[in-house]
Amino acid sequence: MATHPTPQQRQQPLDTALFSTLLPSLLRLSQLASSPSPSPSDDDPSQDPKLALNTRAAALHSTLDALAAQARTLPAAHLSVDDQAWLEHQLHLELDRTREHLEGMARQTALEVPEAAPAVERDATGDKDTAMADGAQA
C-alpha cells in the first residue's frame, strides 16, 4: 500500500550531494568485488576484503533507500517519463486554450474610446487652464 508523503516531506529538496556519491560508491564496490581476495592478516582484521565489500554494499544499500524515499516524495513520481511528457503536453494545450479564451474576452470587453476633444488642462489649483492652445478663454 502506497503511503502519501506529508507536506513537510514534499517541501524537502532532493539531496543532490547524496545522489553524486552513487557512481563513486558503485565503482568502489565494483573494484572491491573484482579484486583478488588476499587472505586477511591476523594482525589487522579491518583489512579483510570481504568485510570491506560488505561494508561498502551496506552503505550503498542505505544510500539507495534514502534516495528512493526522497524520489517517492516528488510530485507525479508514480508516473512514467512518457506519462509525465503527455501530462505536460496536455497542460500546455490547456494553457493555450485559456490564453485564447482570455484574449477573446479582452477583445469583447475592450472599450472603444471615441476621438474626443482635446483634454482640458488644469493648473496647479485645479482650475481650468486659461492659456489654451487656441488662445480662447474657458
Q: What is the pLDDT of residues 90-113, one digit of tens each?
A: 999 999 999 999 999 988 887 766
Whether residue 18 is found in the same domain as residue 70: yes
| Dihedral pair phi/psi, residue 55, rounded to 5° | -65, -45
Answer yes or no: is 93 within a domain: yes
Whether residue 64 is found in the same domain as residue 90: no
Closest to 27 measured CA to CA, from 56, 51, 67, 52: 56
- Is pTM beyond 0.95? Reply is no
Q: Are 57 and 29 in contact (CB under 8 A)?
A: yes
69 lies in which domain range?
Answer: 12-74
Cα dihedral 75, 78, 81, 82 sign: negative
Look up residue 124 and give its three cell numbers. Answer: 496647479
Whether residue 42 is found in the same domain as residue 16: yes
Answer yes or no: is 115 within a domain: no
Q: What is the pLDDT of residues 15-66, one digit of tens each?
A: 888 889 999 999 998 988 888 766 555 555 556 888 888 999 999 999 999 9
Whether residue 50 is found in the same domain as residue 90: no
Dihedral (C-alpha) 71, 75, 77, 80: value to the nearest 10 degrees?
Answer: -140
Whether residue 43 is found in the same domain as residue 86: no
